Amino acid sequence: MKIEDVIRNKGTAVVTIEPGATVAELVDLLVRNNIGAVVVSPDGAHIAGIVSERDIVRHLGTDGAAALGITVREIMTADVRTCTLDDKLEDTAVSMTKHRIRHMPVVEDGQLRAIVSIGDVVKHRLEQLTDEHQHLLGYLHS
């Protein structure tokens, strides 16, 4: 299984935000899209960083309500781990777990193509295991 198998089922939609947007705008974007992380991009194609609910909470904890007025650039993670469509699902899952990453952008030819969450990866793997289980049961009962 490859990441492209997950993306084929999930789709390629990626919500992005510009680095100069405020944290208040970020919060609004997360709420409107019911998501937990956003890729930070100046143009929707190149990755400048990634920012999650956890980043917001950390800054609210230290800066209080003033955190809502700072820019996304100030709270984002700039060193973004990515994967490609050809990466193995298992390798990506291991990397996400090892580095405690919940969301990983998918990049091809230097361009943002999609995003996968650890939930997407687990869901796809569970579906795969369920299918294998059903096939084995069918084999045993035939």
Could you state, in order of their start, the residue ranges of all structural domains in the chain? 3-140
Neighbours of 131 (CB within 10 A): 10
pLDDT in tens, 92-104: 999 999 999 999 9
pLDDT band at 17 (very low <50, low <70, confident <90, very high): very high
For residue 139, the 8-state DSSP code is H
pLDDT band at 127 (very low <50, low <70, confident <90, very high): confident
pLDDT in tens, 61-83: 999 999 999 999 999 999 999 99
DSSP symbols for 21-63: SBHHHHHHHHHHHT-SEEEE-SSSSS--EEEEHHHHHHHHHHH
Burial pattern 24-33, b for ≥16 Cβ within 10 A else e, equals eebeebbeee
pLDDT band at 133 (very low <50, low <70, confident <90, very high): low
> CATH number of the domain at 3-140, please?
3.10.580.10
Check pLDDT > 80 for residue 136: no
Residues whose CB falls within 8 Å of the CB of residue 16, separated by 6 or more in sequence, listed in order? 38, 39, 40, 41, 44, 112
Q: Which residue has the tokens 């956890």?
A: 54
* Residue 50 confidence (pLDDT): 98
Averaged pLDDT score across all residues of the chain? 92
Separation CA 110–CA 119 (nearest Å): 25
Separation CA 105–CA 38 (nearest Å): 10
